[in-house]
């Protein structure tokens, strides 16, 4: 398997688009299936065994909440 190039992409969505993506993610988690999403022109396949977390950051006048989904690439431990 070829190694994937590093990426760090952030994409903004309308409220309706964001809700639809969260709903699809929630459905995949509940059903125990994988989740598919396209980000920056690349289709991402999130395995059912992914780990989920919520991160909160505060700096100066800004606050941020990130919903994170993490998993190991195939063949890595």
pLDDT digits (tens, 9 = 90+) for 15-55: 999 999 999 999 999 999 999 999 989 999 999 999 999 99
| Residue 11 in this model has a pLDDT that exceeds 60 | yes
CB–CB of 32/67 below 8 Å? no
- Measuring CA to CA, how many Å separate 21 from each of 2, 40, 49, 60, 63? 28, 15, 19, 30, 22
Of residues 7 and 58, more confidence is placed in 58
User: What CA–CA distance (Å, rounded) separates 32 from 19?
Assistant: 20
The pLDDT-based confidence of 4 (bands split at 50, 70, 90) is confident
Angle, vertex CA 67, rays to CA 62 and CA 70, nearest 5: 130
Check: pTM over 0.85? Answer yes or no: no
Task: Give the residue from 25, 12, 6 showing the smallest Cα distance to 69.
Answer: 25
For the residues 11-16, what does the mean pLDDT come to? 94
């Amino acid at each position: 398997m070829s190694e994937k190039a590093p990426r760090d992409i952030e994409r903004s969505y309308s409220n309706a688009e964001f809700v639809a993506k969260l709903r699809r993610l929630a459905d995949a988690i509940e059903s125990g299936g994988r989740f598919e999403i396209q980000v920056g022109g690349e289709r991402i396949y999130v395995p059912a065994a992914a780990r989920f977390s919520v991160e909160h950051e505060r700096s100066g006048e800004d606050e941020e909440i990130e919903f994170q989904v993490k998993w190991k690439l195939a063949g890595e431990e």
